[in-house]
A and B are shown apart, each in its own frame.
Chain A
Amino acid sequence: MDMAVKTPSSPMQKVMDGLRAWARINSPWVIHYNSGSCNGCDIEILATLTPRYDLERFGVKLQGSPRHADVLIATGPVTRQSRERLLRIYEQMPDPKFVVAVGSCGLSGGVFHGCYNIVGSIDEVLPVSAYIPGCPPRPEAIIQGVVALLQSLKPQ
């Protein structure tokens, strides 16, 4: 990840970096893209966003526009058809941005592994920051994965 600070560290710089990291950890806006999944993971992601789990208490908001999003939640194996779209959505997101791969198919291709119309797993197309296994993963697992990603952003 290109999150490491390379500038010389003055006290002011340290405060600003701390503030930036704090804001980033506490306000992850997500966008969701299905690049060829069977829809099972997507149902679980939508369940995660319902009032029962209420992710707004962690500052998570589902955004429609990639320009507003910080975290791309991608599900499913990447098909040859959707590879370009997935890349395009990723490129439209402003830095700093992260990708979370959800579900077995996103991790390895799953049951679609080796299929003629599949490029492969999501990390063959995009740099993935967090992997959430499961077929499909439970909402709790998705929350844990996103929280683990956010914890890794904390300055050491």
Chain B
Amino acid sequence: MNLPLPSIILLLFFPGGLFLIASGLVYQWADRKLVARFQNRIGPRWFQPLADVFKLLAKEEIVPTGAIKGLFHGLPIVALASALTAALYVPLAGFNASYSFQGDLIVVFYLLSVLTICIGLAGANNISRFSIIGATRTLTQIFSYEAPFLLALLGPAIAAGSWSISKINIYAQENVWLILAQPIGFVVALIGLMGKLELPPFDAPEAETEIVAGALTEYSGRGLALFRIGKDVELVIGLTLISALYLGGLANPLDFLWKTVVLLLVTAGLQALFARLRIDQTVGMWWRVGALLGLLQLLAIILGRLIGPLF
């Protein structure tokens, strides 16, 4: 479906801006509620993320000594803005992407990474030891999952013969679901998304039992609220991206809803199942297993494309 809307509405209300933030909060609630139910708890109420955000926005923001003031205030804004921008190129809510060009898959990939890099920089901007350790871990983790995650997103692009998410989405709708054709790629992409969002078991960068709250230890009030919204937005975009690429594309809003919710169910289950990995275990797993699996998938696709026409 196409959206006949002026670009200012596309940017500020739907599918960017307000709609994206609202759906981010809803998905955060769903994620927390699911994990709580898996742990035999009742879980938060439906408005919990909204109350958290309002409270944080109304709180005092302390700029610690030693931090560069401009960076301290600017980084959360850049992080949220890049996450919101990425939404314009994915088929959010089942509608066609607002904008698309050859190569927007890579652009979205990098826009999603900007958030993580901003969190790392925000941690390194402080002189608090917990922030710095958190920043080191955040940046270590980005170097470990990024390559396998990109390899996993490459698979559908090669299959569709296009670098544009919209074209891959259309290809995925017309052909057999890519989760069947490229199961390894799907697994690597889903776990890569969890690494990207620092969800358990990949939450070593913000491990509260070891390093207080990681890179965001010194943030209070607005900065923390913006980073949290940014992460929620990234969760929605990541789920949209993977379901568009691997789960047969997103043709309409209903399609979007059930595919992303199923993916969320799987990620929440994995979060509840596994305990936190140490940062060296995370890096080791991604480079020894993740990257190899990604390469194997890539090799299989290339061989398939070479051998396929012979039959």
Report the tally of A-B residue pairs with Cβ distances under 8 A: 86
Q: How far is the CB of B130 from chain A (nearest CB, A)?
A: 8
Specify which chain A residues have a CB less than 8 angstroms from the CB of B53 in the assembled complex: 23
Contact with A along B37-62 (1 / 0, CB 8 A): 00111111101101111110011111
B61 and A94 contacting across the interface, CB-CB below 8 Å: yes
Specify which chain A residues have a CB less than 8 angstroms from the CB of B36 in the assembled complex: 54, 56
Q: Which residue of A lies closest to B58 (CB)?
A: A20
Contact A24-B58, Cβ < 8 Å, known A59-B52, A68-B213: yes
A51 and B55 contacting across the interface, CB-CB below 8 Å: no
Specify which chain B residues have a CB less than 8 angstroms from the CB of A19 in the assembled complex: 54
Contact with B along A43-87 (1 / 0, CB 8 A): 000000001001011010001110110100000000000000000
Q: Which of A24, A64, A65, A94 has the most CB of B within 10 A?
A: A65
B160 at interface by CB-CB < 8 Å: no
Specify which chain A residues have a CB less than 8 angstroms from the CB of B208 in the assembled complex: 63-64
A95 and B60 contacting across the interface, CB-CB below 8 Å: yes
Contact A57-B43, Cβ < 8 Å, known A20-B58, A63-B208, A67-B220: yes
B217 and A67 contacting across the interface, CB-CB below 8 Å: yes
In the bound complex, CA of A76 to CA of B149 (Å): 49
In the bound complex, CA of A95 to CA of B219 (Å): 13
Contact A54-B55, Cβ < 8 Å, known A64-B208, A94-B221: no
Q: Which residue of B lies closest to A69 (CB)?
A: B220
Specify which chain A residues have a CB less than 8 angstroms from the CB of B42 in the assembled complex: 54, 56-57
Contact A94-B59, Cβ < 8 Å, known A26-B51, A54-B36, A67-B217: yes
B301 at interface by CB-CB < 8 Å: no
**How many A residues touch B, CB cutoff 8 Å?**
22
B224 at interface by CB-CB < 8 Å: yes
Specify which chain B residues have a CB less than 8 angstroms from the CB of A57 in the assembled complex: 41-45
Q: Which residue of B lies closest to A57 (CB)?
A: B42
Contact A94-B51, Cβ < 8 Å, known A54-B36, A64-B212: no
A-B CB contact pairs (8 Å), 25 listed = A19-B54, A20-B54, A20-B58, A23-B50, A23-B51, A23-B55, A23-B58, A26-B45, A26-B47, A26-B48, A54-B41, A56-B41, A56-B43, A57-B42, A64-B209, A64-B212, A64-B213, A65-B212, A65-B213, A65-B218, A67-B213, A67-B217, A67-B220, A67-B224, A94-B62
Given A23-B54, A54-B41, A94-B61, 9 other A-B contacts at CB below 8 A?
A24-B55, A24-B58, A26-B47, A56-B32, A65-B130, A67-B213, A68-B213, A68-B220, A94-B220
- Which A-B residue pairs are the 9 nearest by beta carbons? A23-B54, A94-B60, A26-B51, A64-B208, A23-B55, A94-B220, A64-B212, A67-B220, A54-B41
Residues of A near any B CB (own CB < 8 A): 19-20, 22-24, 26-27, 51, 54, 56-57, 59, 63-65, 67-68, 70, 92, 94-96
